[in-house]
Chains A and B, each alone.
Chain A
Amino acid sequence: MNEIELLNWARGPGLTYATIFMVFGLTLRVIEILSLGRPKELAEVRDSGVRDGWRMVIMRSLPERRNWKRITAAYLFHVGLLIVVFFFIPHTQFFRDVFGVFWNGWPNYIIDFVTVVSIAAMLYTLAQRLFDPARRILTTIPDYLAWLVTFLPFVTGYMAFHRLGVDYTLMLALHILSVELLMIALPISKLTHAVTFAMSRWYLGSNNGRRGIHV
C-alpha cells in the first residue's frame, strides 16, 4: 500500500468505520446512562436539586484557585482543542461537507500558535502525571492511552501543516488516521466526557442538593 492508497483509505472507508463506531457507541452509552435513572432514595429528599445541578455544571467549569498551573494547562488545552478542531480552515471544509453548515475559519497563524500552546499544555499535564508521586499512583494505563490518542492528532496535524518529517501525503494520512483512532476511543474510554461532562456534573450536583448539600 502506498501513501496515496493509505490516504484514500483514511478519507474513505476508514472515516466511515470510525464514524459508525463513534456515533453508535456514544448514542448507546448516553441512552444507557440516562435510562439508569437515580437509585432509590432511602432517605427523605430535601430539595429538588435542580439548582444545585446547574451550579455544579458551572462551578466545575470555572477555574479553582488551587494548583493554578494545572488548571491553566487544562484550560489552554481544552480551549485550544476546540479552536483548532472547529476553526482551522481545512477543518471547516470537513464540517461543511458532513453537516452542510459553514462558518469562517481563523487565519493559519492563529491556529498555528494555538496548536503549539495546546501541545505544550498537554506535555505539561503528562509531566505532572509522570513526576508527581500522587498522580503517578492514580494514573492507570488507560489514562496514558487516552492522553496519547488525544495528543497524536495534534502532533501529526502540526507536522503535516509544516511539512515536517515524512512526506506530506503520508503525514496527512497519519493525521486523519490518528483522528479516527480518537473517534474510536471516544465511546470506550474516559474521553466520553466530551459529550457527557455536563450531564454527569448536573447529576452529581443535583444529587448533593437532594441530600441537602449546597455548594
Chain B
Amino acid sequence: MSQDKQVLAGELQRHGISRRSFLKFCTSMASAMALTPAAAVEMAQKLSTIRRQSVIWLSFQECTGCTESLTRAHKPSLESLIFDFVSLDYHHTLQAASGEAAELAREQAMHENGGQYILIVDGSIPLKDGGVYSTIAGISNLDMLKDVAKDAAAIVSVGTCASFGGLPKADPNPTGAVAVADIIDDKPIINIPGCPPMPVVMSGVLAHVLTFGIPELDALGRPKAFFGDSIHDRCYRRPYYDRGEFAKSFDDEGARKGWCLYELGCKGPITHNACATIKWNNGTSFPIQSGHGCIGCSEPDFWDMGGFYKPLSTGTSNPGQWAGYALAAGAAAGLASAAVNKAAKAKADKVHQPVTIEDMGKK
C-alpha cells in the first residue's frame, strides 16, 4: 500500500479512475499515433508504474486557446485525462494560487524536480525593447523561459505561437516575437503547433513523452505521427482536386456539392496536421468538412501567406501594381536610351561620306 502511493495507478484509483479507463485512454492514444495496439498495453503498464511527472506550464504571448482546447470539453474528455497523469505544478491560468504564492510554487517545483520536470510553453516570447511587452510577476518572458528551461528534462512547445511565433510574430511583428526554439537550443524541444493544437495531439504526445520518451520529429520539430501527412494528402475532397472540380465561391454549385476549396484559398496542400484524419470534437468534423478551406494554422508564418482566401498559386503581394511602375520606368529608360542612340546615329550620319567609283580607284 505504501509503495502504491508513489506510483500513478494507485493515486488515480483513489480519484475514481480505474486501470481499465487507463487502458482505454492508452488504446485511443496509441491508435491516434498509429502505434500498435500492443504498444497501448505497454504504455498503460508504464504509465501506471511511473511517478507523477512534474510539469511546469508557462504561458507567454498567447490567447489561452491552447489550454482551452485541452481542457474545455463538454464532459470530462479522455484527452483531459492527461492532466491526471502529471503533476501540474505551475499554470497561471489553471492554478488556484496567484501572485507570489504562484511564483513560489514554480520555484519550488523547479527546485524539487531539477533536471526532471517537463516544461510546457504556450505563447511566443517578445524580444523587442528588452522584452517589456510581456512580463509575469515583473519577470520578462525571456528571463523566465531561460530560467525554467535550464533545469528542464524536455520542453514541449504547445501551439503555433510557442512553436513558430504564431500570431504575435505576424508581419510587422511589433513586439519582436520569437518561438521557444529560437531561444533555447540545448534542450530537446517538441513542437505541437496548431491554432489551437488538437487536444488528442497534445495528450497523445505527452503520453508518449511520459512512457516511451520523445517521439520521432520532423524537420520543424513536430511529431511525425501527427504531422507526417499534409491535410491535402488525407483530405476526403482530394478526388475533386485531382479531377479539377473546384468551388469558385462559398455559395455556388461546386461549394454545395462539396468540391475542392483550392480556389477559395485552402492551404491544405502545404499544411501538416492530423485534422483530416482525427478530426475535431471527438471526430465530428474539421474545417474543410464544414466548407471552409484550411488556413494552415500548424505551419510557420501562416498569417503571412497573403490571406486566408487567396489561392496558393497566387502571389502574397500585389505584383500587378509593381508591374505598372516597372513598365513606366522601363519606358522612360527605353526613351532615354533611344535618345542617346539617335544622337549617336545622327553623328554617324554626319560624318558619313558617300564612296564613289573614283574613290575606289584611288590609291
The answer to whether any beta carbons of A and B sit under 8 Å apart in the complex is yes
Chain A interface residues toward B at CB < 8 A: 2-5, 7-8, 11-13, 15-16, 19-32, 35-36, 40, 89-91, 93-94, 97-99, 105-108, 163, 168-169, 172
Interface assignment of B235: CB less than 8 Å from any CB of chain A: no
A93 to B315: give the CA distance in the assembly, Å.
10
Counting CB contacts under 8 A, is B172 at the interface? no
User: Are A27 and B326 touching (Cβ within 8 A)?
Assistant: yes
**Is B300 a contact partner of A4 (Cβ separation < 8 A)?**
yes
Closest Cβ–Cβ distance, residue A202 to chain B (whole Å)? 19
Interface flags for B294-338 (1: CB within 8 Å of A; 0: not) read 000001111011100011111111011011011101110111011
A-contact 0/1 string along B213-252, CB 8 Å cutoff: 0000001100000000010110000000011101000000
Between A and B, 21 residue pairs with Cβ closer than 8 Å are A2-B300, A4-B300, A8-B304, A8-B305, A12-B316, A16-B319, A22-B326, A23-B330, A24-B327, A27-B327, A27-B329, A28-B334, A28-B337, A30-B334, A35-B337, A36-B345, A93-B313, A108-B244, A168-B270, A169-B269, A172-B270
Q: How far is the CA of A90 from the CA of B323 in the complex (A)?
A: 21
Chain A residues whose CB sits within 8 angstroms of the CB of B244 once the complex forms: 89, 105-108
A133 to B232, CA, bound (A): 48
> Which of A8, A16, A25, A108 makes the CB contact (< 8 A) with B242?
A108
CA gap between A24 and B326 in the complex, in Å: 5
The prevalent SS among residues of B at the interface is helix
Which of B243, B320, B322, B352 has the most chain A CB atoms closer than 10 A to its own CB? Answer: B322
Tell me which residues across on chain A come within 8 A of B314, comparing CB atoms.
Answer: 11, 93-94, 97-98
Q: How far is the CB of A132 from chain B (nearest CB, A)?
A: 38
Q: How far is the CB of B232 from chain A (nearest CB, A)?
A: 8
- Decide: B315 and A23 in contact? CB cutoff 8 A: no
Contact of B323 with A35 in the complex, beta carbons under 8 Å:
no
Report chain A residues within 8 Å CB of B338: 31-32, 35-36
Contact present for B317 and A12 (CB under 8 Å)? yes
Which chain A residues lie closer than 8 Å to B302 at the CB level?
A: 4
**Residues on A with beta carbons closer than 8 Å to the beta carbon of B349:** 40
On whether the beta carbons of B323 and A172 are closer than 8 Å, the reply is no
* B270→A94 contact, CB < 8 A: no
- Closest B residue to A96 by beta carbon equals B314
Q: Which of B311, B312, B326 contacts A23 (CB 8 A)?
A: B326
Chain A residue nearest in CB terms to B314: A97
Nearest CB to that of B352 among chain A residues? A40
Q: Are the C-beta atoms of B311 and A13 separated by less than 8 Å?
A: no
Q: A93-B263, A169-B270 are in contact. Are A31 and B311 (CB under 8 A)?
A: no
Q: Are A32 and B337 in contact (CB under 8 A)?
A: yes
Type the 1/0 row for B335-363, where 1 means its CB is closer than 8 Å to any CB of A: 10110011001000100100000000000
1/0 per residue B96-130: CB within 8 Å of A? 00000000000000000000000000000000000
Partner of A19, one of B263, B304, B306, B322: B322
For chain B, the bracket of interface size reads 35 or more
B22 interface hit (Cβ, 8 Å): no
Contact of B317 with A31 in the complex, beta carbons under 8 Å: no
In angstroms, Cα B306 to Cα A93, docked, is: 14
Residues of chain B within 8 A (CB-CB) of A35 are: 334-335, 337-338, 341-342
Query: Given contacts A11-B314, A93-B311, could you give 14 more A-B pairs where the C-beta distance is less than 8 Å?
Result: A2-B219, A5-B300, A11-B317, A15-B315, A16-B322, A22-B326, A23-B330, A35-B342, A40-B349, A89-B244, A94-B311, A98-B319, A107-B243, A169-B270
Among residues of A, the one whose C-beta sits closest to the C-beta of B337 is A32
- A12 with B306: in contact, given A32-B338, A40-B349 (CB under 8 Å)? yes
Contacts of A2 in B (CB 8 A): 219-220, 300
Q: How far does the Cβ of B230 sit from chain A's closest Cβ, in whole Å?
A: 6
Closest to B299 in A: A4
Contacts of B306 in A (CB 8 A): 11-12
Query: How far is B305's CA from A108's CA once the two chains are assembled, in angstroms?
Result: 25
| Neighbour of B319 across the interface among A15, A30, A32, A93, CB < 8 A | A15
Roughly how many angstroms separate A163 CA and B67 CA in the complex, as a whole number? 35
Q: Does B57 contact A (CB under 8 A)?
A: no
The distance from the CB of B351 to the nearest CB of chain A, in whole angstroms, is 13
Contacts of A7 in B (CB 8 A): 270
Chain A's nearest CB lies how many Å from the CB of B168? 17
**In the complex, what distance in Å separates the CA atom of A93 from the CA atom of B264?**
10
Instruction: Kindly state the separation between the CA atoms of A62 and B220 in the bound complex, as whole angstroms.
Output: 53
Q: What residues on B are CB-neighbors of A105 within 8 Å?
A: 244
CA of A105 to CA of B317, assembled, Å? 23
Shortest Cβ gap from A163 to chain B (Å):
8
A19 to B313, CA, bound (A): 15
> Does any Cβ of A come within 8 Å of B90's Cβ?
no
**B319 contacts A99, CB within 8 Å?**
no
